[in-house]
Structure 1
C-alpha cells in the first residue's frame, strides 16, 4: 500500500518545490526587510529550502540515507531563521560584525546556539504560537531518527544495508514537507509585504496530499 503511495508522493513533492521555487524568485525581487537579522533569517530560510529539495533529489536517486541526513539541517535552518527574527540575539549579531577579524580556530565564537536552546529562546518571544507548537512537535517525533541519519548512527547503518520501509519514507517526507511549508511562510513574512503571503494559502490547498496536516 505505502509503496504505491510513495511512488505517487515523490513527483507531487517536486511539483510543490517547483511552486515554492517560483515564489522564492518573486520574494528575492521584493527583498527582505533591510535589518541585518532579517536578511540573515531570509538566507537561513533559503538554506532550508535547498536542503529540502536536495533531500528529495537524493531519495529519488536511491541515496536514501544521505537524503534523510539532510532533513535535520533543513529543520534546523528553519529554526535558526525564526530565532534570528524573534529572539534577543544582539550579542551574537555584535560578534558577527567583527567576523572578518576572527581567526580560523576561533569560529566557534560565531556559532549560534544549539537547536534546543534556540527553541527555548523562541518560546519566550512573540513568535506565532501555533507555528512553535508545530516545530516542537516535529522535533519530538523526529529528533532521534534524524540525529541518527545525520551522524551515521545505527538507523542509518541498518537502513542503508537492509532498506527502509515505504511507510517510514512516506511519513518522513510528508513531515519535512510541512517544514518546507512553514519555511515559505517565514520567507514571505520577511519581505514585509502582505501580498507575499497570498501564495502560501494556495500552496496548502494545491499540495494538501504532500503535507501531514489537512488544511481547510
Structure 2
C-alpha cells in the first residue's frame, strides 16, 4: 500500500508545530561556531530554515507555484551548507565569508553549479552516506517539477487538473525532509553530534509529516 500525506490542513498545522519545535530544540543546543567554515555553514543552513518557514506561509496562501519555487531555494541552501561543511576548499569558504563587493560577488558565481556541488559532496569522504543519498534522491525525484514551476513551464500552467491539494501536501512533506537535513547538519557543524539523538526524537514524533522510504 503506497503512503499518502495527511490532509492538507492537518499537515500545515503539524508542520508549523515542527518548525517551532525545531527552533526550541536547536536554540539551546550549545552549538559552537568558532571557526570560519562552521560559521559560514551555519549561515547557509539558517537560510534554508527561513525558506522552510516561507514554504508554509505560501502554502497557507494557496500559492503552489511560489511554494515550489521556494522549495527549490531551500534545497539549494541545504546543498550549499553541506558543500561548505564537507567539500569546499578553504579558499572557497573565504570567498563566501568575504564582504560583498563586485569582485567577491563575481568570485562567488564561479563556485560551481548545484550539480557540481552535489558531486563534490558525494566525493567527500567526510560527508555521511545518508546525507549524500538524501541530497541525490531529492534532486533526481524533484528537479523536473522544480524547474517547471520556477520557469512557468507545463506544471504550473495546467492548474485545472484538480491535483492542487495533493501537490501542496507533497511540497510540504518534501520541505520537512529538507528541514530534517538542515537540523542534522546544524548539530554536526556546531560540534555537538551528541545532539543528533534529540533531532531524531523530534522528527520521529512528526513522522506523519515526513516522506516514508519504500
Q: TM-score range by the shorter chain?
A: 0.7 to 0.9
Give the alignment's Cα RMSD to 1 decimal.
2.3
In structure 1, C-alpha distance between the alignment counterparts of 2:96 and 2:207, rounded to whole Å: 40
Query: After the TM superposition, which residues 188-203 of structure 1 pair with which residues of structure 2 at under 5 Å, given as runs?
Result: 188-203=187-202
Aligned to 1:142: 142
CA distance in 2, matches of 1:55, 1:91: 33
Conserved? CA contact 2:176–2:210, under 8 Å: yes
1:20 to 19, 22, 28: 22
Structure 1, 46-55 or 164-173: larger mean CA deviation: 164-173
How many angstroms apart in 2 are the aligned matches of 1:142 and 1:42?
25
User: Which residues of 2 match residues 80-91 of structure 1 at below 5 A?
Assistant: 80-91=80-91
- Paired with 1:75 and 1:116, the residues of 2 have a C-alpha distance of 12
Hey, which of these two has a bigger chunk of helix by percent?
Answer: 1
C-alpha distance after superposition, 1:59-100 (max 9, x if no partner): 112222211110001011001001000104233234456645
Task: Give unmatched runs, 5+ long, in structure 2.
Answer: none
Q: Classify 1:172/1:200 alpha carbon distance in 2 versus 1 (closer, same or farther; 3 Å).
A: same
Distance (whole Å) between structure 2 residues aligned to residue 39 and residue 98 of structure 1: 12
User: After superposition, where does 1:46-57 map in structure 2 within 5 Å?
Assistant: 46-57=46-57
Equivalences for residues 58-73 of structure 1 within 5 A:
58-73=58-73
Q: TM-score, normalised by structure 2?
A: 0.86
Structure 1 residues 75 and 4, CA, compared in 2 at 3 Å: closer, same or farther? closer
1:32·1:42 contact (CA, 8 Å) conserved in 2? no
Shift of 1:172: 2.4
Instruction: Provide TM-score, normalisation by structure 1.
Output: 0.86
Q: What residue in structure 2 maps to residue 121 of structure 1?
A: 120
The 2-side partners of 1:191 and 1:88 are apart by: 17
1:155-166 to structure 2, matched below 5 A, reads 155-159=155-159, 164-166=163-165
Displacement of 1:198:
3.0
Q: Is the 8 A contact 1:3 1:166 kept in 2?
A: no
Aligned residue runs from structure 1 range 37-52, under 5 A: 37-52=37-52
How many Å apart are 1:148 and its aligned residue?
1.9
Question: Distance in 2 between the 1:90 and 1:3 partners?
Answer: 42
**How many residues align structurally?**
208
Specify the alignment match of 2:107 in structure 1: 109
Alpha-carbon distance in structure 2 between the residues aligned to 1:71 and 1:64: 10
